[in-house]
Amino acid sequence: METFRSSLIRKNLTLLNSYPVRKHILSARNFNYTRSYSYLNIMYGKVYFVGAGPGDPELLTIKAMKILKSCDVVIHDSLVSQELLSMMPEGTEIVPIRETPRQKGMNINEIGSLLVKYAKAGKNVVRLKSGDPLIFSRIGEEIQFLDNEGIEYSIIPGISSAIYSAAASKTVITDRRFSSSFAVVTGHESKEKDFSSVRWETLSKAADTIIVLMGSSNMADYCKRLRDTGLDKRTPLVIVSNGSRKDEKIIKTTLENAINSEPGEYGELSTVIINVASLNTKGINHLSPKGRQDISADSLQLMFSGNNRKEG
């Protein structure tokens, strides 16, 4: 059933299409752009970039759920859980970017055009992204489409798989005694780039904890680079695959074992945490950050008993 607001928006959009009002507003040099932008956004819908979290709907923020319950359209990534999508109110239009992670989906131009089309039709749109929308999600490119058309948007943060994986594996990311920095990097860069933006050679000395998202496919390669540039081969390493989902797995091992792993051995949707501090039932264990290599046997206690132990 069409609401009064939707009806008003459609009538105003018809008016704008009937007369060169919008063209005049945006091209007149003496017109107050801020006022015209606000006026046009009364006509247009709004786009919300919402973080869906790692998968479990219970990890969604209250604000995100409120927006999802009141929007007209949800455009979602393939990694967003079906359990969450099934909670949408009846009548909400749900549009997948692609059905499965392996399937080729819409390109960035198609996604941007889709956002603009629905917003210009007066619909409030949720662009639902797994994890946090600001981390490795192409949000910057999608925002450019909205800015070019004068469409208003908001960003609602979500729980990143980087943070969830640390919590699920009881891994301390920082500790004031011996871990004061961390870095989040991607293990799967865009194929359109002809260079790597991840400086693996400096990460071993720049950050105490390194979190690699989408990190299992070439894990052996970057772990070897980290070892060769100063990270001790006994450094604790945690792999969390399918975090917060029913088939979640947590594997605790070392940098040396990761170097000897096969591509994709730990699944595709994996977060890898390489760190000097970790929390388990025995408390905090750590590797001395000094030089990364001069670690005494007494100070080295791995965060688990035995390698490649699986949980969950």
Q: For residue 5, what pLDDT is reported?
A: 52
CATH topology of domain 44-159: Cobalt-precorrin-4 Transmethylase; domain 1 (3.40.1010)
CATH code of the domain occupying 162-311? 3.30.950.10
Q: What is the pLDDT of residues 52-109, one digit of tens each?
A: 999 999 999 999 999 999 999 999 999 999 999 999 999 999 999 985 556 678 999 9
How many Å apart are CA 153 and CA 129, to the nearest integer? 15
Residue 1 has pLDDT above 90, yes or no: no
Domain extent listing, the chain:
44-159, 162-311
How many Å apart are CA 208 and CA 205, to the nearest integer? 8
Q: What is the pLDDT of residues 173-184, one digit of tens each?
A: 988 877 889 999
Q: What is the pLDDT of residues 188-235, one digit of tens each?
A: 887 777 777 899 889 988 899 999 999 988 899 999 999 999 888 989
Residue 280 has pLDDT above 50, yes or no: no
Look over the chain and give the mean of its residue pLDDT values, rounded to a whole number.
80
Q: For residue 277, what pLDDT is reported?
A: 58
Q: What is the pLDDT of residues 107-163, one digit of tens each?
A: 999 999 999 999 999 999 999 999 999 999 999 999 999 999 999 999 999 999 999
